[in-house]
A and B are shown apart, each in its own frame.
Chain A
C-alpha cells in the first residue's frame, strides 16, 4: 500500500511541467498567456540549445519570453513573432525545423531509409523464394532431339523380348 502511494506520488511529480516562467512574466489575459506558452515551447534557447525558452532559466530565454509576450500584447500574430525571431537568429531558433528545400533530408531522411530497407528486403525475399521454388516448378523440358532419342530408346526396349 505504502509502496503504491509512493509510486503514485512519483508518477504525478513526473508529469508536472518543468518550466521557468516567472510569476511576474505571466500576462493577465489568459488567452494571450496560453498563446505565449505554446509559442515559447517551440522556441529554442540558444544558450542551452536543447531546451525551449519556456523551460530554460538562461537570461536570454527570459528576455525572449518577455519579448514574445510584449509582441503578443501589441497584437502580433504567432507567425509574425516567429518570423521576427527567425530573421535575427535563423531557423535554428525553432525547435521544430520548418519544411523547406534545405530541410528535406532532415524531415524525410528516416522515411527514405525505411522505404529503401523495406524494398531491399522485399526484393531479397522474392529472389529467395523463387530460388527455392525453382527445382519443383521448372521441370526441364526436353529438346526435340532428346525426345527422339528417348522414343527410340523406349522403342528399342519394347522391341526386346
Chain B
C-alpha cells in the first residue's frame, strides 16, 4: 500500500494530460448557442430583393426550416454557397437567408454571381438582428423546428459531412 501512493502523482498527471489532449481536438471557436431549444428571437427584417419576401419571426415554425446568416464580404460563405444551392435544388428543407451587415447592392451582385438558394432573405444592415440571434462569426446556420424553436446552430461553412451526419438526421427527426 505505501508503495502504491508514489504512483498517485503519475496517475494524476496522466489523467490531466489525457484531459488536455482531448481539449486539443475541440475547436474553441465553436461556441454553443445560448438559444438552443428556445424560441427564435423577435426580429423583423425588410426584403433584400424586390421579388422575394423579407424575414421575420412569424415566418418561422410550421415546418422545419434553416436560417443562414451570410454576407458577400464573408469568405467562408463563398465556400458553403454551392452546398446551399444543392439544398435548394434537391428541395431538402426551406432555406431562409439573412444578409448580415452587408450593403444591398453587394449582396445582390453576390446572388447574381453564385445563384440564390433562399426562399426568403432579410436585410440586416445594422447587425442588430444578428445580436438577437447571438451571431458572432459568419456564416452561421440555424435549424428551426416546427414550433419555431432554435434546435441547432452551426458556426462556419457547411460541409457535406456536417449536412449528412448532423443536419439532415436532425431535420428528419424534427419532422416526425
Q: A residues engaging B (CB < 8 A)?
A: 46-47, 49, 59-60, 63-64, 67, 86-90, 92
Asked if residues A88 and B41 are in contact (CB atoms below 8 Å), the reply is yes
Contact partner, B136, options A67, A86, A87, A89, Cβ 8 Å = A89
B32 close to A (CB within 8 Å): yes
Q: Which residue of B has the minimal Cβ distance to A60?
A: B136
* B residues less than 8 Å from A60 (CB atoms): 127, 136
For the complex formed, measure the closest distance between the CB of A59 and the CB atoms of chain B, giving whole angstroms. 7
Asked if residues B127 and A46 are in contact (CB atoms below 8 Å), the reply is no
Asked if residues B137 and A87 are in contact (CB atoms below 8 Å), the reply is no
Asked if residues A46 and B131 are in contact (CB atoms below 8 Å), the reply is no
- Count of A-B contacts with CB under 8 A? 36
**B: number of interface residues (CB 8 Å):** 18
Bound-state CA distance A88–B131 (Å) is: 7
Majority secondary structure, A binding face: helix
Contact partner, A47, options B131, B133, B137, Cβ 8 Å = B137
Asked if residues B134 and A88 are in contact (CB atoms below 8 Å), the reply is yes
B21-33 to A contact mask, C-beta < 8 Å, 1/0 = 0000000110111
Bound-state CA distance A87–B134 (Å) is: 9
Asked if residues A88 and B35 are in contact (CB atoms below 8 Å), the reply is yes
For the complex formed, measure the closest distance between the CB of B78 and the CB atoms of chain A, giving whole angstroms. 19
Asked if residues B32 and A63 are in contact (CB atoms below 8 Å), the reply is no
Bound-state CA distance A67–B133 (Å) is: 14
Bound-state CA distance A64–B131 (Å) is: 8
